[in-house]
Structure 1
């Protein structure tokens, strides 16, 4: 019996490659054991060369009790086909391969899913019917989406064996409280003028490179007849590293204004590319789909095309990851096609526009992907509307206090210029204020943010976010705001007799001591630390409802 077990294990071995484990050509009587929400590649080989392999439709029908799932395999070059698999549920899963390849059709396997033991891993991102304007993990924990834009992340370390720069930047992003990266799968170069100073630092320039392209050839001389497996192999490592660090990929599959040579829309080449992306990355629990950055700008795509891409995704994605489109007009006119509302709003009246969006779509999370705040960097990459670090921070809080989610941009990482180690630059070189967002994360982690709702009628001259269930109010006060002029921030249905007050400094992350709540007298707070020094948040706790 021991001999038989040894023979069974000869045909299969698990190896770690950038956190994606691989099971090579497993026999049907081998039990593949993987933890919940871990991504594994089950690799199959064909003896004969297949014509047009990227166009073949091969699926694994995965069954467990009465549940079934249809997961596509993808071609990975050299006569290999990959079943990339992860599971949100524990237990025994049996799969059978079916589809266009006779050589693989009928192959079977068994997968045992063990309970997740990674403390900070909670599964894929989803929504809730009970609390529809917030994101949640599959295990029910609230997902506090604080995003970081990095369009050219795929380009760091391209062609290198190790992801040293990528991992350093990702770890810096993670340590400063961000939970998501808004990113392009591929982009070529910016269309606006570049800062001459950037030319003196080629180590930070990633735009215009001809060595990276998802198709054959290059962006300047594209060959759309097939796909570049090496490009996707590298991107696999990037997404796997993000998954290991529990960073979500908000993946924009297209971008129209970055000089990319795309195949004609709806052509076989276009469909091949799009389908391959969905097949390749759907098993990653840290994946959120976005059809295109600024989808209906620049005169390329149409509403019908975007709708077809969404329907195409949902048909092919066996995991039903969340999907949206970086275009508020499309989301507004097609709310039933997207899982959350994406918006881009630079207006000075940002808070009110986010309130309006939340009111108009009470059953969808609101995500402002771009609010015009692009913090300054050593190079002027794309200034946008706001570059001061504190102004950019405030615009994120304006979204936060409107009950929406937001994205941070730094000009040193968001586009073609990437400074992967900003805090190791020479003295005198501008360093970004990522720490401001680690403080925002502290606020997220201290309170059950999913239970708070904006209360514009009780704003005063600040922004009111109230949790009636737990009796807590948070009031954001810009540093220029001396007082709120009236004591109307507490809803008349609540008693403040036993309430306490505390202040939070958004610049330093400090909480003041907690004291008994004192009402405003003569338009002044009896006690307000950091007045005029920083944007602060007043936190009032222990409010009691007067309702019986």
Structure 2
């Protein structure tokens, strides 16, 4: 829109947005609201103008009461070079939100890395398209707070790798695998599907990723993941999370034998098929250095295993 009317709102649009936010709330889905976006040729209000303030106040007043809402100043915020402006907008949100919802800023790597945001924002919001596990580990050293990789893969449509609305896509299995790498570093994730992420919306689709990400959620929901720390040094291959003396999770990008060093005790273990959500018994073991051999049939597919202290 080359000539937007900034002091009037499109009520039909916002009534639809109301239904979306409420539907997410009813289903327990977090609404990560990006207030602006910098790389989509949007003609925005003048910075810190009365019209921009009105827009921010409108959003905050309309949606801050929803407990599933998170505020994100902007998608691709690295394109905004005026740091004082961004800091001012964070303060504006804080000052006008009576519910004090969490605030973050998407993909502003250089500024995050300076530490400027450490005591201002509530968590780090990033996009990283390679070295997913290693990047989260590195970012966690910069500051002790949650880190979300909001963009790390885009699932293609049902017709395969050429079925897309954006220039880059991956298979459902590859997007899922990357998600596990991030979670196994103590990071958090989002999900992109080509027909719900950009300008073409097909809500009737049921892509495989819906099930894959549910299986991921179901798996971690059975654990005390919030008490776990990365412990990759304990395994000969793959990635490891550990809640010391209580629980271990190991994820392998390729199903193959590996060794793990366990604390003293007796444990029960279960393999987990990340693509169908099924558990396979791995037996009872004692602490010390233990070798696990994946069940047959997985070939080169990723696999996880959960090892829990026996009562």
**TM-score > 0.5 by shorter chain:** yes
Residue in structure 1 matched with residue 308 of structure 2 by the alignment? 541
| Matching residue within 438, 441, 449 for 2:214 | 438
Higher relative helix content? 2
Q: Does 1:447 align with 2:226?
A: no
**Residues 1:354 and 1:530: Cα distance change in structure 2 (over 3 Å):** farther
Output the CA distance in 2 between the equivalents of 1:526 and 1:243. Answer: 42
Question: Are the equivalent residues in 2 in contact too, given 1:503–1:539 (CA < 8 A)?
Answer: yes
Mapped pair 1:473 → 2:248: yes
Query: Residue 355 of structure 1 corresponds to which residue in structure 2?
Result: 137
Separation in structure 1 between the aligned mates of residue 19 and residue 270 of structure 2, nearest angstrom: 44
In structure 2, the CA distance between the partners of 1:275 and 1:527, relative to structure 1 (3 Å rule), is closer
Does the Cα contact within 8 Å between 1:410 and 1:432 map onto a contact in 2? no
Residue pair 1:323, 1:339 contacting (<8 A) in 2 also? yes
1:337 to 2:81 alignment: no
Match of 2:191 in 1: 408
- What is the CA deviation profile of residues 44-85 of structure 1, one whole-angstrom value per residue up to 9, with x for unaligned ones? xxxxxxxxxxxxxxxxxxxxxxxxxxxxxxxxxxxxxxxxxx
Give unmatched runs, 5+ long, in structure 2.
Answer: none
| 2:271–2:294 Cα contact (<8 Å) kept | no
Q: Which moved more, 1:508-517 or 1:233-242?
A: 233-242
Deviation at 1:437, TM superposition (A): 1.1
Summarize deviations over 1:102-138 as a string: whole Å, max 9, x none: xxxxxxxxxxxxxxxxxxxxxxxxxxxxxxxxxxxxx
Match of 2:86 among 306, 313, 317: 306
Counterpart for residue 269 of structure 1? 51
Separation (CA, whole Å) in 2 of partners of 1:526 and 1:241: 44
Per-residue CA deviation, residues 21-53 of structure 1 (Å, 9 max, x unaligned), is xxxxxxxxxxxxxxxxxxxxxxxxxxxxxxxxx
Per-residue CA shift, 1:74-99, capped at 9, x if unaligned? xxxxxxxxxxxxxxxxxxxxxxxxxx
CA shift, 1:221, in A, is 2.8
Question: What's the counterpart of residue 374 of structure 1?
Answer: 154
Q: Which residue of 1 aligns with 2:17?
A: 235
SS in 2 for 1:331: helix
Inter-partner Cα distance in structure 2 for 1:532 and 1:307: 50
Bigger radius of gyration among the two: 1
State which of 268, 278, 283 in structure 2 corresponds to 1:515.
Answer: 283
Aligned pair partner of 1:420 in 177, 198, 203: 203
Preserved CA contact (<8 Å) 2:264 2:287: no
Q: Matches of 2:55 and 2:294 in 1, distance apart?
A: 60
Instruction: Give the drift of 1:462.
Output: 0.3
CA apart distance, 1:518: 7.4
Per-residue deviation at 1:519?
8.8
Preserved CA contact (<8 Å) 1:283 1:319: yes
Q: CA deviation at 1:263?
A: 1.5
Determine whether 1:495 maps to 2:264.
yes
- Structure-2 change in CA distance of 1:529 and 1:438 (3 Å): farther
Give the Å deviation of 1:331. Answer: 3.1
TM-score, normalising length from structure 2?
0.89
Tell me, in whole angstroms, the C-alpha distance in 2 between the residues paired with 1:231 and 1:392: 31
| Contact 2:257–2:293 (CA under 8 A) maintained in structure 1 | no
Alignment of 1:18-417 (within 5 A): 219-297=1-79, 300-327=80-107, 328-332=109-113, 333-347=116-130, 349-362=131-144, 364-371=145-152, 373-377=153-157, 378=159, 379-384=163-168, 387-417=170-200
Deviations 1:419-462 (A, max 9, x none): 11114xxxxxxx44321111112102211211211112223220
Instruction: Give the TM-score of the pair, scaled to structure 1.
Output: 0.52
Distance 1:305 1:459, change over 3 A: farther
**Structure 2 residue 288 is matched with structure 1 residue 506:** no
Aligned partners of 2:256 and 2:294 also within 8 Å = no
Asked if structure 2 preserves the Cα contact closer than 8 Å seen for 1:465 and 1:474, the reply is yes
* Structure 1 residues without counterparts, runs of 5 or longer: 1-218, 424-430
Secondary structure at the aligned position of 2:202 is classed as coil
Hey, what's the Cα distance between the residues in 2 that align with 1:441 and 1:251?
A: 21
Deviation at 1:228, TM superposition (A): 3.3
In the TM superposition, what is the alpha-carbon distance from 1:501 to its structure 2 partner? 2.1
Tell me the number of residue pairs that the alignment of Structure 1 and Structure 2 aligns. 304
Secondary structure at the aligned position of 2:307 is classed as strand
